[in-house]
Structure 1
Amino acid sequence: MFLIFLFLFSSTILLLRSFFILAGLWKGPILRSFEKYGDPENIYLPLLHTFIWFMLFVVSLLAVLFGDENATASMFSFLVLFSLILWNIYPRLKTFADNHPHIFMALPRWYVELRMRTSRDERRRLAYMWLRLPLSMQLHLSTNDHAFFHWADLVLISAVGYDYEE
């Protein structure tokens, strides 16, 4: 029973994390996805992650409410089956999202605006500058989109004079 409560607690925390990302109140995970070099840029899919954590939350909540071991075992077997199906479908969903970004990039709004206003190199520069900010400044910029875009503009303007060829 302890494992079920632990599973419920962790799925609740991760579901709240997904809601904060969707609402635009936590910018760190999305900015962290901009750091990668090389491969084509991945589109961050917060809706898909929120759906996965919501399903895990529902299964764990049902397991807590119906504390019978047989019901819990059948729910976890359903969870394993759902995970295997999702694992099989996820690459296709990712390809579909790459081909139709306007569908999956509706939330958070600051992410959509940032992708329209900046290039990949500029987003990477913003991501690495985000790592250098103190935690209190990250929290302030995460909750205030106007201040975040002002900071982003200052970072991008400061790098205009930099020559990459030297």
Structure 2
Amino acid sequence: MQLSSLLKPEAVRVFGTMSSKKRLFQELGEVAHVVYGLSANEVVDALQERESLGPTGVGHGVALPHARLAGLDKVKGAFIRLEKPIDFGAVDRMPVDLIFALFAPLDSGVDHLKALALVSRTLRDATVCGKLRANSDPATLHAVLTEAQASQAA
């Protein structure tokens, strides 16, 4: 599985500020709607439902919200970088500024877990996170994410 197959360049966004986790989920819903044709409301509801089971802030300013949705044929992703971090209820209580959301088919099984592991591995790399935080251009952010995985595989 390749990060480039999960994340379209147009699904990468940068925002200066975000008022809350709920507002962030609304933006993710909008990205999923515009880029992948998903229902924004269904995406928001599914992300909030998953988040109610436990926060998806994994630490070091990174969050990996994810949800299973009807109408998908494969796992898809969206990435948002916030210039001003927000509280996400992360395990280390640090605010979050790097958010990689995954949307998976209802019956995705192992593919969903493989995608989560892949994104988690990529964003655990401090060098990758440093490059993501140092750039505001969505095309550059997409390149950093997809090239990071390619170099890890080599």
Q: Does TM, normalized by the shorter one, top 0.5?
A: no
Q: TM-score, normalised by structure 2?
A: 0.31
Q: TM-score, normalised by structure 1?
A: 0.29
Which structure is higher in RCO with an 8 Å CA cutoff and minimum separation 6?
1
Name the structure where helix makes up a greater proportion of residues: 1
Name the structure where strand makes up a greater proportion of residues: 2
